[in-house]
């Protein structure tokens, strides 16, 4: 019988903390599941566990110094680590997290991270006060924004003798996270996904426009995660400040008509459309050629007309594509979202309560409810947009498999 992680290559990066002993157990579990593991250690990790322990258990040389010492044969192992399917940092100290967030590269762990193109998981372990420190939390947010998966530390007795939040998650939990990432890795291969993101922008004159507070983060997270799981992704984006996700075809647009045009151009060659864009519902009747002057004006009346509802039109034009919509609601969340699901003939809608503080627009996190076409409701906990993206993609895949 093949083992679950047969043929998968994992780079296990260990930084210096008392929890380094748990990395030994994680390595044992990974090897037992059939993974090929290359271990990378920082100098301080060697104070807790010797490279020999990891070498013996992994059957591979350990990458533990960037200069001198190690033979040229070890270059192969550095390359093996760089070519791994996944990198997991466990335990991740505040120092290593800081270096990763800032792009510093002066030890085997941070050097590997800077050179690593695949998915990365981080399992922090530190004193509870360090974990709470704004600098550490800021670094964690930076890594999450970049798509790094966080395996949350747990509460319990810490090395310093106190009790608090900062213990490394237990090895079976770490193994489960690795499994989830690795097995998801190419589950969307061959699928063509069209994603819209961000706000639209309707011009009033050459300097002014009507827009909304959408940051585009949700759509970019979906595009990035879908790509990392093997999908071919086209991202149609209104104006945002976000970097385009690696490997995704990005098409920029401003006005609703432009977004609609791009959607209808690309929809026929896609299997899935995820419409996260906050499309402006109204546009000025007149777009002034010159800047509107305030002189001699007591009031300025702008006449607006409704824009095209893209999803409403998609409902007419679709030829079997799976369509996902979003619903931004400030009241009657479930009722309004369900009504939109039906009216726009969607397969799934993601309902978002925009009145709740600290989530939704601009935020890196959200708390959403999924409603499928059978009106089955699934309320997700407060999660990062990356995590929501992965769960949404899981549900899309389930629906496609049920067809
Ligand atoms: N949408 C669209 N075209 C529009 C407006 C919205 O395709 N002109 C899409 C959005 O991308 C989203 C879904 O429809 O996936 C719901 O958008 P939302 O703004 O919540 O709802 P509206 O239909 O615009 O209704 P209202 O603003 O009145 O709640």
Ligand 1 within 6 A of 267 CB?
A: no
Residue 118 and residue 218 in one domain = no
CB 302, CB 327: distance < 8 Å: no
Residue 170 and residue 233 in one domain = no
CATH number of the domain where residue 338 is located: 3.40.50.10300
CB 105, CB 114: distance < 8 Å: yes
The CA distances from residue 34 to 27, 68, 181, in Å, are 11, 32, 15
Chain-centre distance for alpha carbon 394: 13
Among protein residues, the one with the nearest Cα to ligand 1's atom 12 is 326
Residue 287 and residue 394 in one domain = yes
Backbone angles phi, psi at 65, to 5 degrees: -145, 145
Residue 88 and residue 129 in one domain = yes
> What pLDDT tens digit does each residue of the chain (403 aa) get?
678 899 899 999 999 999 999 999 999 999 999 999 999 999 999 999 999 999 999 999 999 887 766 555 456 667 778 889 999 999 999 999 999 999 999 999 999 999 998 889 999 999 999 999 999 999 999 998 888 999 999 998 888 788 889 999 999 999 999 998 888 778 999 999 999 999 999 999 999 999 999 999 999 999 999 998 899 999 999 999 998 887 899 999 999 999 999 999 999 999 999 999 999 999 999 999 999 999 888 999 999 999 999 999 999 999 999 999 999 898 999 999 999 999 999 999 999 988 877 666 778 889 999 999 999 999 999 888 988 999 999 999 999 999 9
Residue 167 and residue 249 in one domain = no
Residue 224 and residue 155 in one domain = no
Cα 122 to middle of ligand 1, angstroms:
36
Pocket probe mutation, ligand 1, options 264, 309, 312, 369, max atoms within 8 Å of Cβ: 309
The whole-angstrom separation of Cα 289 and Cα 398 is 50
In angstroms, how far is the first alpha carbon of the chain from the final one?
30
Q: State which ligand 1 atom lies nearest to the alpha carbon of 314.
A: 7
Residue 17 and residue 138 in one domain = yes
Reading the block at residue 315, the tokens are: 């409902």
Nearest to 346 by CA among 370, 315, 377, 317: 315
Look up the pTM and report it. 0.78
Cα 396 to middle of ligand 1, angstroms:
20
Reading the block at residue 63, the tokens are: 């990458």
The answer, yes or no, to whether the previous bond of 91 is cis (omega within 30 of 0) is yes
Residue 174 and residue 201 in one domain = no
Ligand 1 within 6 A of 326 CB?
A: yes
Nearest to 288 by CA among 217, 384, 203, 188: 203
In a domain, 4, yes or no: no
CB 150, CB 385: distance < 8 Å: no
Catalytic residues: 160
Ligand 1 within 6 A of 275 CB?
A: yes
Cα 319 to middle of ligand 1, angstroms:
21
Residue 176 and residue 155 in one domain = yes
In a domain, 17, yes or no: yes
Ligand 1 within 6 A of 113 CB?
A: no
Cα 257 to middle of ligand 1, angstroms:
14
Alpha helices (H) in 125-202, listed in sequence order: 128-132, 134-145, 171-184
Structural domains counted in the chain = 2
Which range marks the domain in which residue 385 is found?
Answer: 192-402
Cα 276 to middle of ligand 1, angstroms:
9
Backbone angles phi, psi at 356, to 5 degrees: -70, 135
Reading the block at residue 37, the tokens are: 């593991």
CATH number of the domain where residue 112 is located: 3.40.50.1950
The CA distances from residue 61 to 16, 40, 90, 292, 400, in Å, are 19, 9, 18, 69, 43
Beta pairing class for 36-41 and 9-14 = parallel
In a domain, 1, yes or no: no
Ligand 1 within 6 A of 313 CB?
A: no
Residue 179 and residue 271 in one domain = no
């Amino acid at each position: 019988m093949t083992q679950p992680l047969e043929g998968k290559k994992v780079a296990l990066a260990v930084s210096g903390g008392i929890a380094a002993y748990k990395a030994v157990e994680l390595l044992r579990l990974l090897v037992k599941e059939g993974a090929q593991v290359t271990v990378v250690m920082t100098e301080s990790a060697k104070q807790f566990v010797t490279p020999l322990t990891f070498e013996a258990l992994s059957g591979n040389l350990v990458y533990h110094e960037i200069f001198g010492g190690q033979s040229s044969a070890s270059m192969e192992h550095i390359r093996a680590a760089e070519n791994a399917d996944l990198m997991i940092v466990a335990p991740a100290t505040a120092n290593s997290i800081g270096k990763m967030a800032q792009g510093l590269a002066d030890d085997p762990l941070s050097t590997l991270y800077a050179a690593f193109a695949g998915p990365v998981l981080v399992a922090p372990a530190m004193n509870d006060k360090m974990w709470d420190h704004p600098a550490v939390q800021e670094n964690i947010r930076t890594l999450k924004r970049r798509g790094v998966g966080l395996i949350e530390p747990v509460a319990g007795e810490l090395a310093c003798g106190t009790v608090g939040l900062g213990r490394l998650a237990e090895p079976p939990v770490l193994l489960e996270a690795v499994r989830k990432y690795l097995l998801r890795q190419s589950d969307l291969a061959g699928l063509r996904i069209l994603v819209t993101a961000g706000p639209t922008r309707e011009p009033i004159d050459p300097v002014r426009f009507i827009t909304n507070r959408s940051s585009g983060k949700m759509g970019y997270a979906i595009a990035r995660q879908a790509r990392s799981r093997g999908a071919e992704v086209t991202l149609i984006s209104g104006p945002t400040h976000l970097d385009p996700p690696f490997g995704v075809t990005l098409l920029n647009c401003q006005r609703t008509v432009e977004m609609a045009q791009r959607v209808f151009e690309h929809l026929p060659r896609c299997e899935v459309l995820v419409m996260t864009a906050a499309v402006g519902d109204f546009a000025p009747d007149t777009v002034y050629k010159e800047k509107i002057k305030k002189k001699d004006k007591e009031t300025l009346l702008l006449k607006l007309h409704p824009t095209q509802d893209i999803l409403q039109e998609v409902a007419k034009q679709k030829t079997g594509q799976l369509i996902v919509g979003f619903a931004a609601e400030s009241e009657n969340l479930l009722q309004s979202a369900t009504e939109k699901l039906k009216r726009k003939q969607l397969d799934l809608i993601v309902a978002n309560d925009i009145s709740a503080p600290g989530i939704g627009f601009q935020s890196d996190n959200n708390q959403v409810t999924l409603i499928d076409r059978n009106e089955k409701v699934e309320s997700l906990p407060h999660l990062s947009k990356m995590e929501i993206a992965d769960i949404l993609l899981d549900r899309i895949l389930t629906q496609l498999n049920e067809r």
